[in-house]
């Protein structure tokens, strides 16, 4: 957890300096760190373990917004919710941990809704541009490429 905190602090400093590529890389490392130690950390301190992963996803979304990468930002919100859903379906999870995860899910959905309300029109434009790019390259005509096109 200490390494995750160090990476997150560095990422936040990079973001503040508008070094978005550095912030993105550091946040990706922080997320990988939080996920790699998640099972062990969850047994010791469930709230901190879940928070580390979700904060990492939210930080990545924030950096993507700063970079005007609307589709990536949306994807990070979606991945955060998916992560929580995966943890929630674990059969051996305690009741208080379910409550914690549901609270976190509510928080990330609130942030995602705020993003959608604020940047939804830009997200749709980015999706249309992405689809047009794929069409112009003839990639949508090939069924093998259809799955990698999905947003």
Give pLDDT tens digits for 13-22.
999 999 999 9
Residue 150 has pLDDT above 80, yes or no: no
Q: So where are the chain's domains?
A: 2-149
2-149 — its CATH code?
Answer: 1.25.40
DSSP 14: H
Percent of the chain with pLDDT over 90: 66
User: How much of the chain exceeds pLDDT 70, in percent?
Assistant: 83
pLDDT tens, position by position, 102-135: 999 999 999 999 988 988 777 777 667 766 666 6
Tell me if the pTM is above 0.85: no
Res 70: pLDDT? 83
Q: Is 95 helix (H, G, I), strand (E, B) or coil?
A: helix
Range 103-111, long-range pairs (CB < 8 A, 24+ positions): 104/50, 104/51, 104/54, 105/81, 107/54, 108/54, 108/57, 108/58, 108/77, 108/80, 108/81, 108/84, 109/81, 111/58, 111/61, 111/77
């Amino acid at each position: 957890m200490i390494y995750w905190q160090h990476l997150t602090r560095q990422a936040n400093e990079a973001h503040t300096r508008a070094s978005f590529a550095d912030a993105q890389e550091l946040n990706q490392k922080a997320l990988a760190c939080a996920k790699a130690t998640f099972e062990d950390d969850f047994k010791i301190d469930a709230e901190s373990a879940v928070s580390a992963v979700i904060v990492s996803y939210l930080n990545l979304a924030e950096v993507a917004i700063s970079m005007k990468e609307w589709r990536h930002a949306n994807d990070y919100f979606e991945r955060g919710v998916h992560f929580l859903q995966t943890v929630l379906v674990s059969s051996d999870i305690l009741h208080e941990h379910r409550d914690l995860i549901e609270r976190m899910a509510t928080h990330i959905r609130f942030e995602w809704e705020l993003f959608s309300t604020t940047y939804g029109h830009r997200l749709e434009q980015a999706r249309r541009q992405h689809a047009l790019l794929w069409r112009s390259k003839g990639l949508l005509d090939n069924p093998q490429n259809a799955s990698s096109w999905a947003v």
